Every structure is written in structure tokens, then in C-alpha cells.
């Protein structure tokens, strides 16, 4: 909430506005809800609370009397047709985000990331065509980059089923914008971190898992020399990006990278994390062959298109963001850890 | 069959080989089957004979005792798991191809073009991982081109639900090639024409419909000045492309444009068609506003990547192809026309 002042430009826009967040009890959704409540919006959160996914009632404990919570699954077409009605802005964040799960069970990934997006948009087309929709896209759709930093002109070449279905989900939003006038845009997020992120297992991205390992004073294993470059963006900056996109008709029909400051190697990240936490340690290990085979090498994004369109900029640097994040989990770790449901680590 | 000699390079490859064609009673599938029978392959055709789609038993009348025909729907996961077994090459052509239908009923388009492709590939992954798969992609996934001729490096920017789901279907093939070793490639077809094409309604592309209008001595209406450029490829050349792709491991994991010779305007096409047929006439009409809104302007493809990879070249020019096509429908029109099931013309 420290950066709420940056929301000022959006304060008048969101005050009293009816806002729906799918995946609203998840990582980004709950942080977004927290900011929207502070801005005076009427917030409806949808989440299915699938125990393997990021939805967590504790995420909205401080605002639970200030929001409406509706437990439902975006795969449930009937509920969606009702719930989108009368909403003014939809932040469409519900998704299956595990690479590994998508390759084990591609149908579930398709149902959630592809078919459900279509049914949300169909619900808007038939029951609420004046709504504005902001979709949570992902840099994963670029696959292994052929040029860096990755811009929005980079080819979409997903390397897994999850990336394909997320790409299709994004394309639907653009087509519904262009053909049916459902004002929509997509933010292609890179590596987002911060409070309220899932860390009960390691299949939804590595950064939450690394933070847990550091906080629990465990060993963080890096493959190879840890030199792979990524960009990291603090969740409050991502929340600010969503708020700006939701309030800006200049974004309609467009896709935008929303990433972090200049590239950082995984080794630098882990070292900084351990330093900030004062606990945990880093160890470099051999690449497991099956992981090397799906490694995408370096990947970091150019967010300048979004900066130009909305005036967005990042306010929280990596050290500051990690410091806040570690502090949050030191206070609340018990609400975020459970015995891992399954083995396997997701690709950095 | 005139160009069978060109298949010589593939003759030894396909002789005695077990080949499955999904959408095998359709336009391209049945032409491909006809060639494969001549090459000595053991051919299994799958088709659901949906009355709105291109499957037509008459298409395979001359070879009906030389192939196995299995009526089933690619949406039927159980059947697919059985039918892919022991096949050596799968030509995966089954699809919903109407732009208009996909916007009216996006779920059916998703089930056929997206989910079914996944289940065919899952069937191969679990029951026949050594099979080779050639997917029928489409230039529609490029949307409105930003550069011409369109190469495979052009961004995928579909303008309709059909294009999105076809893109996802193609991506699945590439991911299953790269991750699970299911050798696959995709041919992005442009405007294919020739004998055995659906022409009972006008929702599956304009060229079959134009040919019907000419053969029936009716009026062909062109929007605006008819100057939009396209490329046209005769079905026997496309069959040759599929045969080469199916026999070439150099194609695995790759996408290829398969298009026609240099750009031709719709006005030139229609004029040549009327001249060749000796019947029909061309009239230029005002753009209907709702059609102008979804017009993609000029679109023609560069097929040189596929030519380099396989030695493919087109053998049938536009005049010759149209002459053969008109002759075919003069003989067999009654097998291809029915009262149109619905109104609306698909986008050229």
C-alpha cells in the first residue's frame, strides 16, 4: 500500500466504480483488490480456490469486509454470464499458471486458459458489451527469445501447452475488442514477485519458491552457472499497471509487455535475496538434462510501449521489493506453506 | 491425377505405408487420398460427415474400395486414441473452416480446431509416438498483413476466433514435436481450389463459391473495385506439398507457407474464371460496411521456405487449374450443391 499515492491519477476513475477481478483471491488479484478498495471501488472477487492454485482467503483478510467474494470457477459458463453483468471494469486474472501441469494435463489448461476466457468474453458480448477488460497475459508466449529485450513485435512461439493456451486467451480478447467492441487489452507480465504469492509448491514459477527457501533458511539450487538473465517486477508496480490499463481507452486492442528493470541473472537475484533475508544459501548444481532441454536461455522484456501509452513506471527496485516481500512472509509464512502436493520444479 | 509423376520422389516412401487422413472425405483430404492410393499406401480416412462441412462421400467414389473409411469425429477422444495406433503418417486436415461460423459459435470452433488437435496429439503421445504428423494450417492466422508477401516470420495476429484456434492447433503440433518427439510440421495454406471442394454454401471461403456461380451461369459480386490481391494454389500442388512434408524429416518442428504463384486480384481471378467457364459474369458492388470492417486488404504468401526445404514447386497455373476445376464441376455439380443452409458470405 506504500505506493498508493501513485494511484492518484486513477483515484477519481475507480472511486465508486464496479470492478470484477477473476482470480481475485490469488497473488496479483488480491493485491489489486487491496489497492482498489483503498481507491473506493466496489470490488467483486471471483475465485475457485482450487487447492493447487494461488487463491488464498488470507490474501484478502484485511479487506474481507470491504469486498464481495464469490467462489466460482471461470469454467462455469452460467455463473460467468451472471457475474459479469453491471461490472464496469474486469481484471481478468484467473488462470492455470503451471508449465508442468499443462504438459501433464493439457485439457485442464485448455479449459481454464482458453475456453474459459472465451466464455467470459462471450458473457460480456451478450450481457455487458460496454465493460472494459484487462487480461493478464504472459511473456511465456514468446518462448525462447530470438532478440533481446523482447518487444511486442517478437514472434509468439510458445514452448509449452500453457503458453499456447495463454496466447489463445489473449488473442480472444483482441478479437472481441476489434470485432465486437468489448474494450480489451493484455498485459504480458514477466516475473512478478511480492506478498501474497503462492509458495506451497514450486510448480508456478521459481521466484516465489526461491523466496520461501530463503525465508525458511534452506538451500536455493541454481542450474549451471546461474547466468540466465530475467527481469523482475514488484507486484505493486504490476497493480499500478493494471489500474492504468483499466482506466485508459488508449490501451484498447493492444498488447503490452509489463516487466522489470534491466536484466538480472538468477545468480544475482538469489544472492541478493539471501543477503536481504539474512537466511538461506545458494548452491550451483548441474543442469538436469530434461531441464536443459526446455531452458529458454535469457529472457527479459522491453516495457517502453506501455510506459509511453500510460505514463507507467516502476517505483520499487529489486532490493526494496525483496525486502518488503521477505518481511511479509516472515510475518505470515504459515498461511502460505503446506506440504507440497507434488514433485517437480517449474522452469525459471 | 495428371501430376502423379511429380509424386515419384515419394512413390517408394508411401508404397505400403499406413496413412491416416483426418477430414479424409473433405476437399484436400480426398484429393490426397486419391494420390496416396495411386502410390500404393494403405489409407484410412476419418471424417464426421457434418452436413455443414466439406466431407462428401462422392469425393472418394472412385477409390472407395481401395481405402478404409471410418466415420468418426475428431472431438471423440476415445475413437482417436484407437484410430491413430499403428499409423505411420497422419495428415491432420479435419477442421472447422468458416470464419463466420466461428464468430457465431466460438465454442464449436474451439472444440474442433483447438481441443481436438490436442487430443489427436495426446493420442499419438501415448499410443503412437513414432508417427509423423502433417497439420493443415492456414494463412488466416497472420490476419491483416503488415508486410507482403507474407513470410513465416510475420506476426501471428488472427482477426477472428477461427484464426486463433487454428493458430493454437498449429502451436500444439510444434510443442509436441519439440517436447514429446511427435514429429510434426504445419503447412500454412493460402487459397486452395480445385475438384472436390465444398460449394453447397458460401461460408468456407470464396473461391469455391465463385466457381459454383460461374458454372451455374450466375453473377459473381466483387466488393469495391476487386483489387484485393490474393494467391491461389491448385489442390494437386497442395497434395504434392503434403506428400513431401509427410516424407521429409527436415520439415519436423517447422511451419511453412504453401501458397500460389504471384499475386492476383480478385477482379482478375473472377474475370479469368468467367472466361474459362464461358458462363457467369462479374459485377462490382459497394462494400457492405460490416464486410469492409473485417477486410484484410491484400494478402499473399511467400512459399520459398517450403520450396527450399522440399524441392516443391507448383505445376498447375491458374488458367489450367480453373479449367480443370470447371470441367470437374460441369460433370459432377449435382453432388456438390444443395440449398444453402444459411446466409452470409465468408471473407475473401
> What was the pLDDT predicted at B31?
98
Do the beta carbons of residue A348 and residue A265 sit within 8 Å?
no
Mean pLDDT computed over A175-198:
97
**What Rg, from alpha-carbon coordinates, does chain A have?**
19
> What was the pLDDT predicted at A1?
38
d(CA B37, CA B40): 5
Task: Find the CATH number of the domain harbouring B17.
Answer: 3.40.50.720
Instruction: Compare all CA atoms of chain B with the CA of A116 and give the residue at the minimum distance.
Output: B107
pLDDT-wise least confident of A129-133, A223-227, A344-348, B182-186: A344-348
Q: Is the pLDDT of residue B281 over 50?
A: yes
Statement: the pTM of the whole predicted model exceeds 0.90: yes
> What was the pLDDT predicted at B9?
58
What residues of A are in contact with residue B179 (Cβ under 8 Å)?
103, 159-160, 294
**In this complex, do A178 and B161 lie within 8 Å of one another by their Cβ atoms?**
no
Residue A226 lies in a domain: no
Best of A175, A178, A184, A347 to disrupt the B interface by mutation (most B CBs within 10 Å)?
A: A175
Mean pLDDT computed over B101-115:
94
> What was the pLDDT predicted at A339?
54
Structure confidence by residue, pLDDT tens digits, B141-171: 999 999 999 999 999 999 999 999 999 999 9
What residues of B are in contact with residue A165 (Cβ under 8 Å)?
168
Contacts of B327 (CB under 8 A, 6+ apart): none
Instruction: Give the angle A16-A21-A27 at the CA atoms, nearest 5°.
Output: 120
Of A206, A175, A11, which Cα lies nearest the Cα of A97? A206
Mean pLDDT computed over A192-198:
96
pLDDT band at B226 (very low <50, low <70, confident <90, very high): very high
Structure confidence by residue, pLDDT tens digits, B59-83: 999 999 999 999 999 999 999 999 9
Mean pLDDT computed over A34-50:
97
d(CA A144, CA A294): 9
Which candidate from B156, B175, B179 shows the least CB-CB separation from A156?
B156
Q: Is the pLDDT of residue A215 over 90?
A: yes
What residues of A are in contact with residue B118 (Cβ under 8 Å)?
106-107, 110, 161
Q: Which residue has the higher pLDDT, A288 or B10?
A: A288
Torsion of CA A332, A336, A339, A343, to 10 degrees: -140
> What was the pLDDT predicted at A346?
46
Best of A164, A176, A177 to disrupt the B interface by mutation (most B CBs within 10 Å)?
A: A164
d(CA A156, CA B157): 9
- The average confidence (pLDDT) of chain A is 92
Its domain, for residue A8, covers 4-191+234-258
Q: Which residue has the higher pLDDT, B51 or A39?
A: A39
Which candidate from B157, B168, B175 shows the least CB-CB separation from A159?
B175
Structure confidence by residue, pLDDT tens digits, A285-320: 999 887 787 788 999 999 999 999 999 999 999 999
Q: Provide the percentage of residues in chain B whose pLDDT is more than 90.
A: 86
> What was the pLDDT predicted at A201?
86
Q: Is the pLDDT of residue B23 over 50?
A: yes
pLDDT band at B345 (very low <50, low <70, confident <90, very high): very low
Residue B275 lies in a domain: no
d(CA A110, CA A104): 12
Instruction: Compare all CA atoms of chain A with the CA of B165 and give the residue at the minimum distance.
Output: A168
What residues are paired with B192 via a beta bridge?
A: B233
Q: Is the pLDDT of residue A107 over 80?
A: yes
Of A314, A315, A325, which Cα lies nearest the Cα of A207? A325
**In this complex, do A171 and B164 lie within 8 Å of one another by their Cβ atoms?**
yes
Q: What is the ipTM of this complex?
A: 0.90
DSSP A113-140: IIIHHHHHHHHHHHH-TT-EEEEEEEGG
Mean pLDDT computed over A153-173:
96
How many H-runs (helices) and E-runs (strands) does chain B carry? 13, 13
Residue A66 lies in a domain: yes
- Supply φ then ψ for residue A193, to 5 degrees: -140, 165
pLDDT-wise least confident of A115-124, A179-188, B98-107: B98-107
Sign of CA dihedral B194, B200, B205, B207: positive
Contacts of B105 (CB under 8 A, 6+ apart): none
Residue A225 lies in a domain: no
Structure confidence by residue, pLDDT tens digits, A254-297: 999 999 988 999 999 999 999 999 999 999 999 988 778 778 89
Instruction: Compare all CA atoms of chain B with the CA of A180 and give the residue at the minimum distance.
Output: B103
**In this complex, do B178 and A156 lie within 8 Å of one another by their Cβ atoms?**
no
The total number of structural domains in chain A stands at 1
Q: Is the pLDDT of residue A342 over 50?
A: no
Q: Which residue has the higher pLDDT, A147 or A9?
A: A147
Distance from CA of B202 to the nearest CA of A (A): 21
**In this complex, do B107 and A114 lie within 8 Å of one another by their Cβ atoms?**
no
What residues of A are in contact with residue B168 (Cβ under 8 Å)?
114, 164-165, 167-168
Do the beta carbons of residue A134 and residue A185 sit within 8 Å?
yes
> What was the pLDDT predicted at B341?
44
Amino acid at each position: 500500500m506504500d505506493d498508493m499515492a501513485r494511484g492518484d491519477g486513477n483515484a477519481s476513475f475507480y472511486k465508486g466504480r464496479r470492478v470484477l477481478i477473476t482470480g481475485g483471491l490469488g497473488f496479483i488479484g488480491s493485491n489489486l483488490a487491496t489497492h482498489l478498495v483503498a481507491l473506493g471501488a466496489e470490488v467483486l472477487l471471483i475465485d475457485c480456490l482450487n487447492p493447487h492454485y494461488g487463491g488464498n482467503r488470507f490474501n484478502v483478510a484485511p479487506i474481507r469486509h470491504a469486498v464481495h467474494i464469490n467462489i466460482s470457477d471461470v469454467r462455469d459458463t452460467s455463473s460467468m454470464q451472471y457475474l459479469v453483468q453491471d461490472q464496469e471494469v474486469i481484471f481478468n486474472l484467473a488462470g492455470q499458471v503451471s508449465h508442468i501441469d499443462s504438459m501433464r494435463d493439457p485439457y485442464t489448461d485448455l479449459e481454464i486458459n482458453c475456453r474459459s476466457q472465451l466464455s467470459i468474453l462471450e458473457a460480456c458480448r451478450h450481457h455487458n458489451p460496454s465493460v472494459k477488460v484487462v487480461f493478464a497475459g504472459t511473456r511465456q508466449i514468446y518462448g525462447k527469445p530470438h532478440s533481446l529485450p523482447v518487444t511486442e513485435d517478437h514472434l509468439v512461439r510458445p514452448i509449452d501447452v500453457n503458453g499456447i493456451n495463454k496466447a489463445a486467451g489473449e488473442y480472444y480478447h483482441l478479437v472481441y475488442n476489434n470485432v465486437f467492441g468489448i474494450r480489451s487489452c493484455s498485459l504480458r507480465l514477466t516475473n512478478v514477485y511480492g506478498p501474497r504469492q503462492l509458495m506451497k509448491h514450486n510448480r508456478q514459477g521459481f521466484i516465489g519458491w526461491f523466496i520461501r527457501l530463503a525465508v525458511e533458511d534452506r538451500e536455493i539450487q541454481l542450474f549451471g552457472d546461474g547466468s540466465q538473465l530475467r527481469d523482475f517486477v514488484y507486484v505493486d508496480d504490476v497493480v499500478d499497471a493494471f489500474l492504468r490499463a483499466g482506466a485508459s481507452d488508449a490501451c484498447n486492442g493492444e498488447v503490452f509487455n509489463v516487466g522489470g528493470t534491466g536484466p538480472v541473472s538468477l545468480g544475482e537475484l538469489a544472492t541478493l535475496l539471501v543477503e536481504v533475508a539474512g537466511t538461506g544459501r545458494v548452491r550451483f548444481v548441474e543442469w538436469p538434462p530434461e531441464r536443459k532441454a526446455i531452458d529458454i536461455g535469457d529472457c527479459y522484456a522491453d516495457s517502453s510501449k506501455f510506459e509511453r501509452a500510460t505514463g507507467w513506471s516502476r517505483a520499487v527496485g529489486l532490493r526494496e521489493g525483496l525486502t518488503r516481500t521477505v518481511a511479509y512472509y516472515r510475518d505470515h509464512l504459515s498461511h502460505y506453506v503446506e506440504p507440497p502436493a507434488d514433485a517437480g520444479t517449474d522452469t525459471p
